[in-house]
Every structure is written in structure tokens, then in C-alpha cells.
Structure 1
Amino acid sequence: MANRFRAIAAATLLSLTAMVPTGSAGAADMASMPVKAKPIPDLPFFLLIDNRFTYAYQWGAVDPGVTNDTTKQVFAFTHFDVWTYGTNFFNIGLEKAGKSSPANPCADPTRPTITGCEGATEIYGLIRSTIGFNEVFNTKAFSMGPLRNVSFVIGADGSTENRFFSASKRDVVTGLQFAFDLPYKGFFNVNPLFYYEFANRSTFTQCGYALAGTIPGVTCNADGNRQFNPTWAVELNYYMDLGFLPPSLQYFSVSGRAGFYGPKGSENGQILGTETKMEINAEPIRLTFDASKAIWGQKYAHNVDVWVAYRLWRNKFGLDEKNSFACTVGAGAGSCREDSLYSGITVKF
């Protein structure tokens, strides 16, 4: 993509250079006149900047250990940019759950009489950056057939919430991205990664909590933070316009993503607990209607998108949905497996 933008910019510069002013002087006169060459303007640091705000509503969400059915309102900001050597993607979202997934102090098993709390709020952010090998080495060696580029990937995730569980996730990822072209301006990215979740708090493992142990590092975590084993991950994402539709219907596109994260040791981190399983966090398909293009024309394509998606989550947070206590007992039964409907509107600004 960066090469494409550089090519456009270079072509523009060449066309501007060709448009030099002409006068009455002949070629010989021009050759004898001292002329100071004008510097060629540098390309902008960012070749593309895209910022969007999303409001969405989710039905059928789950909260491990608490409920297997809740709703969520989602407010999210997304930034994407292309620069000379790669791309940057950043997303931060606020999720407001329904009352069946309550805020602290509700959902404390030791104080079941506390009820009526409002729905919990969670903030989740992630960043992914790529550096393309074709761009760094000024080559096309990493392009072959549908393979457009190979890139180095680095990123991180973080979250915080006001549930009684008090999760506070921190992880880093690094690896490669294989970027493929799809028809109709589409793409498909495959990212094999190293994944390390080095901190994620849990009230239930906090030393001093009534249901936790008393020996730090053995039966409880001194500050409640669980540190998991490094593992593998594969992240996928794709996008494609439905360009095969009749022109009167070419306002639709499909996209999706999937993340597969390997087992990371005990669900309690450094202390004994049920072993984690491979986690699958996916939005296999999202159907998007380009409302702004339909109303105002091609010039305003994807300024306002309305979409609907199916979301799938298995072994949520790595918890074994068939054997973990949080996933199988009481109100938590079935709460580590999610199949939900997700719909919203996204506005570019």
C-alpha cells in the first residue's frame, strides 16, 4: 500500500515538473541563463491517515463466571495510518454491559446479598504496527502472485474494568504478517505471532480474599496479578468489496477477523489451577452497507458505514469452557462460550 501511494505521489511530481512556464526565449538562450533548480518537495511522512468513531450494540455476550447472556453498548475510536515503511493500527473501546454482568461489588460469591448494581464498564485497547520488508529493502522480492508483502509485526493489548473480578490485561505480540490481495480491492492478512500475557489481575487469586489461599506465589498472588506462560498466536483479517454485484447494489462489503491464542498455563497464572485451552476470538463475517456512498456518491464512500456482524468466542480468556469452575458452575454455566449478534454505525472524521 505504501508503494502505491508513493507511486501516485511520484507521478504527481513528474506531471508538475513537466508544467514549467514557457516564454519567448529560445532553447539556446535558456541554456545560457543560470537557473536555480527548485527542490523536489518531500513526500508527507504519513501517506494515509484514517480516523473513525463507532457506536455498536451487542446481543448474546457472556461474562465468564457471571452470566451466559448479557447485552453491551460499545463506543470505539479507531486510527489507521500508512507511512513510508509500514502501517499503524490503534483501537480503543468502551463497553457498557447490561445489569446481568454487574459492576463491583456485585457478583462477589462471599456477599450474595449485594444486588442491583449497574452494568459493568470495560475499556480495551490494542495497537498493531507493521514494517514492510519490500519497503525497508526497496525491493519486490517479498511479492509473489497474490502475496503483496511480508512485514514485521509488533503490538500490545491492555484492558481494565470495574467488575468484581477486576481484570486488568496486559500483553505483547510480535511476529510476521503475510499480506495477500483479494479481488475487488480486497486483502487477507495472516499474522503468526509470539504472544505473552504478562499480567492480568483476578480478585479471586488475591492473597487475603476469602476464597483465595494464603501463601503468596503458591496458593495466591500477592497483588492479584496473574502472569501467564508465553505462547503462540495467529491473527487473521480480511476485507473485500462486493464488486460483483450490479452497479446499483455496489454499496456492500464483507470483512472479518479471527484470533487463535495457544494455551498459556494455569488459569490462575503462577499458582495451581485448571489448565487453559486454545482461545478463539473471532468475528468471522461483517456485512457493511456504505450509507454515505449510497446517499452522497462515490466521493463520500465509507464516510458513514452501517454494519451487522456475527461474533464467536470459544474458551473466552483462555478458560476451559468444559472444565473450568467459572465456566461450568451456577450462573457461570456456559459463560465461556459466546455466539452473539453485533451491529453498529461507523463514522469517518
Structure 2
Amino acid sequence: MTKLALTLLVLAALPLSASDWSDTLIGYRTSSQFREPGIDGTLNKDILQLSHASGWAYGSNFFNVDMLMSDKNDPAANGKTGANEVYVAYRGALSFGKLSGKDLSFGPVRDISVTAGFDFNSKDNAFASKKRFLVFGPTFNLKAPSGFLDLGLWACHEQNQNGIVGKAVDYKTTYYISAAWGMPFELGGVGAEFKGFANYEGAKGKDGFGVDTKPETLANLFLMFDVSPVFGAKKKVYIGGGLEYWNNKFGVPNSDAPAPGTNKRVTAPMLQVQVHF
């Protein structure tokens, strides 16, 4: 799976400079209701985002970088400041319909692609996460009234580390169901968009503490409004609200036990601002 994924990543990334369309954004989102395993109570995070999506003759690319800055309730390893994290994700897709020159649509499906991608992160807390994550598999590009709606049925493999016990972790390969969408519309004459993603990852074996992992669900949903006319901005400026839902975060079973055994479900309302170029 690793060799196939890396090969597809190279092929998909080659035409980045010859895209038919592209959308690059700088964003900021925040909430005071985030949670982390092993920490009682909620915490605040400010998140800076750089994201790029583009399409070319035979596929598409998506690249995103988040810089997550926690308050003191999620302390850095030095115990004096809040932890900082960098999280990077890339997905490259090749369209079977475009490659073959045939119409592969049927029912709710307009095309089928093969997708490969990776995530990696680094965080400066005591756990010192260093996620290395690969995905590979088919994506069904579904018909939508506007915008896009994609459903991926992928295999995934993760390597990470547990800095608390000083142990590297090589998880089992498992399945990964991923939905992503962006649907623009007008509401009272104002441009708007319903956008987001939802991922469901199967259990991936034991974690660094020797605990069996559970299936994990992560979803981010946003309703964004185009406020560019208000500011007379030449670029598209969107403001809106959303929700992050995270069940069995990092595959750690949910628990209401006191720290360090706690891992409560995340339901964090968020505010977000995006500037598109």
C-alpha cells in the first residue's frame, strides 16, 4: 500500500503548476470547547490555516496546513505555555473517467477516482505526537446540486509515538471512510456555502499504552457567508460558524474517568474566517 500510495502522490503532484482551476485560502478558527485525552475540562485553541485545492486534466490536489495553538490547559512539555501543533494533510486524486475518456457515471455517482495521501503532525506537549499517516483507495465523486461531494473508501496506516512512555507505535492497517463536501448557494441574496468533512476510521490495534483502540469519528461542519461586499474586498472573504465532533479521539476509548484516564467526546462550536485567493 505504501509503494502504491507514494507512486500516486508523485503522479498527482506533478501538474500542480498547470492546474485548470485553483483555490487558495488563509483562515482562522477558534473555540473554547476543545478537549484532549488525559485532560479534564475544555480548553481554547486558536487555529491558523493555509489550504490549497486545484484541478488539472486528469485529477485534483488538496493540501492543508493547520497551526494549532492551545491555552495553558493543554500545556507544552515545559509546563509554562500552551502546546503548539502543526498538522499537514495532502490528498491527490486521479480520475478514472478522465484517464479513460469514458463516462463512468451511474446512479448518484458522476465519476470514480483513485486517491492517495498523507498526514503528519508534530506537537510539543509531553505526549510529543509525531503522526505519520497514509491513505489509499477509491473515491466516489457524487452528484451534487452545486459544488462537490466526495466519498472515499480507503485503507490507512499510521505510525506515531508515545512520548510519555518513550515508545514508537506502528498501528495495524485498517479501513477509512471519508466524506468531503463544499456546496455553495444563496441565502437571502447573500452568497453562502455549506462545507466540511467527516471521517470514520476503524480500530487500529493497541496504542502506546497497550490499550485496544476503538473506531474513531471526526467531523468538521461549517456554514460560511460571503461578506466581501460589506468590506469592498477584491478577494472572497467568508465568515461563519461550525462544529467539530470527535468521538474516541485518536482511537482512545471515550471515558469520564478523572485524568489521565479521561477522554470525553468533543462537541466544539467554532467561529471561522477565511480569505480566498
User: Shift of the alpha carbon at 1:296?
Assistant: 4.6
In 2, the alpha carbon distance for the partners of 1:177 and 1:330 equals 41
Q: What amino acid does structure 1 have at the position aligned with 2:139?
A: Q
Displacement of 1:337 in angstroms is 1.7
Q: How well do the aligned residues superpose, as a CA RMSD in angstroms?
A: 1.9
Q: 1:143 offset after TM fit, Å?
A: 1.4
**Alpha-carbon distance in 1 for matches of 2:264, 2:198:** 17
- Report the Cα distance in structure 2 between the residues aligned to 1:251 and 1:47, rounded to whole angstroms: 23
The equivalent of 1:61 in structure 2 is 34
**Amino acid paired to 1:158:** F
Letter matched to residue 240 of structure 2: W
- Partner Cα distance (2:63, 2:184) in 1: 23
Which residue in 2 is equivalent to 1:194?
155
1:79 aligns with 2:52: yes
Task: Output the CA distance in 2 between the equivalents of 1:160 and 1:241.
Answer: 33
After superposition, give the CA deviation of every residue in 1:137-172 in whole Å (9 maximum; x if it has no partner): 0111x1134422100000000000100111110010
- How many Å separate the matches in 1 of 2:185 and 2:24? 23
- Check whether the contact 2:40–2:258 (CA below 8 A) recurs between aligned residues: no
CA contact (8 A) 1:254 1:287 kept: yes
- 3-state SS of paired residue (1:136): helix
Deviation sequence 1:122-147 (CA, Å, 0-9, x none): 0000000100001100111x113442
Q: Rate the CA distance shift 1:333–1:251 in 2: closer, same or farther, 3 A.
A: farther
- Aligned residue for 2:112? 150
Whole-Å Cα distance in 1 between the matches of residues 75 and 253 of structure 2? 23
Please identify runs of 4+ aligned residues in structure 1 that moved more than 2 A: 293-297, 328-336
The one-letter amino acid of 1:123's match is V
1:147-296 matches, within 5 Å, as 147-183=109-145, 185-197=146-158, 199-206=159-166, 224-243=167-186, 245-246=187-188, 248=189, 250-268=190-208, 273-283=210-220, 285-293=221-229, 296=232
Aligned counterpart for 2:243 among listed residues 285, 305, 310: 310
What is the aligned partner in structure 2 of residue 122 from structure 1?
85
Aligned-partner SS, 2:199: strand
Task: Give 1:242 deviation, angstroms.
Answer: 3.2
Q: TM-score, normalised by structure 2?
A: 0.88
| Residue 6 (structure 2) aligns with | none
Counterpart of 1:342 in structure 2: which amino acid?
M
Contact kept? 2:34, 2:266, Cα under 8 Å? yes
Query: Equivalent of 2:94, from 131, 147, 151?
Result: 131
Change (3 A) 1:227 1:311: same
Q: How many residues get paired?
A: 261
Query: Partners of 1:256 and 1:330 in 2: how far apart?
Result: 32
AA in 1 matched with 2:87: Y
Which structure is higher in helix share? 1
Cα contact 1:201–1:225 (8 A) shared by 2:
yes
250-259 vs 230-239, which deviates more? 250-259
Distance in 1, matches of 2:85 and 2:26, equals: 17
Gaps of 5+ in 2: 1-16
Q: Which amino acid aligns with 1:137?
A: S
- Distance in 2, Cα, partners of 1:171 & 1:156: 5
What is the distance in 2 between the residues matched to 1:89 and 1:80? 4
SS in structure 2 at match of 1:68:
coil
CA contact (8 A) 2:94 2:114 kept: yes
**Partners of 1:145 and 1:229 in 2: how far apart?**
34
Q: Distance in 1 between matches of 2:24 and 2:148?
A: 20
CA contact (8 A) 2:65 2:87 kept: yes
3-state SS of 2:97 partner: helix
- What do the CA deviations read for 1:249-279 (whole angstroms, capped 9, x no partner)? x3222122100000000112xxx72210000
Query: Contact between 1:201 and 1:226, CA under 8 Å: does it hold in 2?
Result: yes
The answer to whether the 8 Å contact 1:68/1:331 transfers is no
Check the 8 A contact 2:39/2:262 in 1, yes or no: no
The answer to whether the Cα contact below 8 Å between 1:253 and 1:289 also exists between their aligned partners in 2 is yes
Identity of aligned residues (%): 26
Instruction: Indicate if the aligned counterparts of 1:240 and 1:253 stay in contact, CA closer than 8 A.
Output: yes
Please list every run of 5 or more consecutive structure 1 residues that lacks an aligned counterpart in the other structure: 1-43, 107-116, 207-223, 323-327
TM-score, normalised via structure 1 length? 0.71
Higher Rg:
1
